[in-house]
């Protein structure tokens, strides 16, 4: 496994692979890797001749009052997990490699960044779009792997790739969960044992809504109220938002029809957690 810290280094490696007609998959991450990241890497390994994992805590996607400084890191663990999973190269640039001064360019899909996490985290998806565009240009992958844990991110990046004719296929991967339903997240490491237990409420609430849709409930207000009520039943939890949107323009819907994303974020102490489900409803 080759570790590259420079754009030129990883670019030369990928170009040598492509010259040999090998296919390349990329898995962008911020490190502190867990089984959710591992599922993306395994999928990339299964579908490509070579896999690059990028590990970069991207400063441009953090707001001024967010957790950039404290974001968890464990380089040795990340390297050994990537090695074990058969990653061919890790790209791990310093911020100055990605954002040399001066740097002025922005990349944005504003229409899709208005709701959900876009409303709670102004500028976040602008940072994501910028870094992922750069990572695509640097690693020139055939396929790129993203978790539906960050469903809005996936839908935004899919639109970005289509609008800019990027020659890469985005592969959405299912959410990996703890046995009690909590979605795996690097930020779960911030939770103390009591918060960790209480954090299961988010998935419980979403699962209850999903079951209600299965039973025929289509009214979004009823569903969102149900989720909010269940989260409110957990004294340690504070709901940030819960919304249902269609999956093309990410605009709010009033009834569950076609493909909808039902997503929520909550605060558990100082930790912000997100979860969601995508529901495909067809008239029989
Ligand atoms: P992050 O390191 O948090 O930026 O995540 C890197 C990639 O891993 C993103 O595409 C995430 O959506 C994905 N990911 C994070 N957690 C999970 C999870 N529990 N299940 C599936 N994918 C995940």
**pLDDT tens digit sequence for 178-204:** 999 999 999 999 999 999 999 999 999
Report the pLDDT value the prediction gives residue 284, as an integer from 0 to 100: 64
Residue 39 phi/psi, 5-degree rounding, is: -65, -35
* 41 contacts 51 by C-beta, under 8 angstroms: yes
Take atom 15 of ligand 1 and give the residue whose Cα is closest. 36
| Residue 50 buriedness (CB in 10 A; 0-12 / 13-18 / 19+) | buried
Task: Please pick, among 4, 37, 77, 137, the residue that the annotation labels catalytic.
Answer: 37
Distance CA 261, CA 250 (A): 8
Distance CA 173, CA 43 (A): 8
Report the pLDDT value the prediction gives residue 42, as an integer from 0 to 100: 98
| Regions of the chain where pLDDT drops below 70 | 284
Distance CA 239, CA 170 (A): 30
Q: Dump pLDDT digits (tens) for 54-76.
A: 999 999 999 999 999 999 999 99
Q: How would you write 107-158 as a 3-class SS string?
A: CCCHHHHCCCHHHHCCCHHHHHHHHHHHHHHHHCCCEEEEEHHHHHHHHHHH
Q: Return the ligand 1 atom nearest residue 32 CA.
A: 2
Residue 54 phi/psi, 5-degree rounding, is: -100, 135
Domains detected in the chain = 2-173 (3.40.50.620), 186-277 (3.30.1300.10)
Distance CA 222, CA 255 (A): 10
Report the pLDDT value the prediction gives residue 83, as an integer from 0 to 100: 98
Residues linked to residue 219 through DSSP beta bridges, in sequence order: 255
Cα 216 to averaged position of ligand 1 atoms, centre (Å): 31
* 125 contacts 133 by C-beta, under 8 angstroms: no
Helix (H), strand (E) counts: the chain:
10, 9
Cα 144 to averaged position of ligand 1 atoms, centre (Å): 13
Would you call 137 a catalytic residue per the annotation? no
Q: Return the ligand 1 atom nearest residue 174 CA.
A: 21
* 51 contacts 88 by C-beta, under 8 angstroms: yes
Q: How far is CA 13 from the centre of its chain?
A: 26
Query: Which single residue is written with the structure tokens 């040999």?
Result: 20
Report the pLDDT value the prediction gives residue 242, as an integer from 0 to 100: 98
- Give the pair of three-digit tokens for residue 163: 């609008």
Does the global pTM surpass 0.85? yes
Cα 242 to averaged position of ligand 1 atoms, centre (Å): 20
Q: Return the ligand 1 atom nearest residue 31 CA.
A: 2
* 30 contacts 149 by C-beta, under 8 angstroms: no
Residues linked to residue 55 through DSSP beta bridges, in sequence order: 29
Report the pLDDT value the prediction gives residue 283, as an integer from 0 to 100: 72
């Amino acid at each position: 496994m080759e570790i590259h810290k420079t754009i030129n280094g990883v670019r030369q490696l990928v170009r040598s692979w492509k010259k040999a007609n090998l296919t390349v998959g990329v898995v962008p991450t911020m490190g502190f890797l867990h089984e959710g990241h591992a599922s993306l890497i395994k999928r990339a390994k299964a579908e490509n001749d070579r896999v690059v994992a990028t590990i970069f805590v991207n400063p441009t996607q953090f707001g001024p009052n967010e957790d950039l400084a404290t974001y968890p890191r464990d380089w040795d663990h990340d390297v050994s997990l990537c090695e074990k999973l058969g990653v061919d190269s890790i790209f791990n640039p310093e911020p100055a490699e990605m954002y040399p001064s001066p740097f002025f360019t922005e990349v944005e899909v504003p229409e899709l960044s208005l709701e959900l996490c876009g409303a709670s985290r102004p500028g976040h998806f602008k940072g994501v779009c910028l870094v992922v565009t750069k990572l695509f240009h640097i690693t020139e992958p055939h396929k790129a792997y993203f978790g539906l844990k960050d469903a809005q991110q996936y839908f935004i990046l899919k639109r970005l790739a289509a609008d800019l004719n990027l020659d890469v296929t985005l592969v959405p991967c299912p959410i990996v969960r703890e046995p009690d339903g909590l979605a795996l997240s690097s930020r779960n490491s911030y939770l103390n044992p009591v918060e960790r237990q209480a954090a299961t409420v988010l998935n419980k609430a979403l699962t209850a809504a999903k079951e209600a849709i299965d039973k025929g409930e289509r009214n979004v207000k009823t569903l969102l109220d149900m989720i909010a009520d269940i989260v409110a039943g957990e004294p340690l939890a504070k709901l940030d938002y819960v919304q249902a949107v269609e999956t093309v323009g990410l605009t709010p819907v009033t009834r569950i029809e076609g493909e909808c994303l039902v997503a929520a974020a909550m605060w558990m102490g100082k930790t912000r957690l997100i979860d969601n489900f995508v529901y495909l409803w067809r008239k029989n």
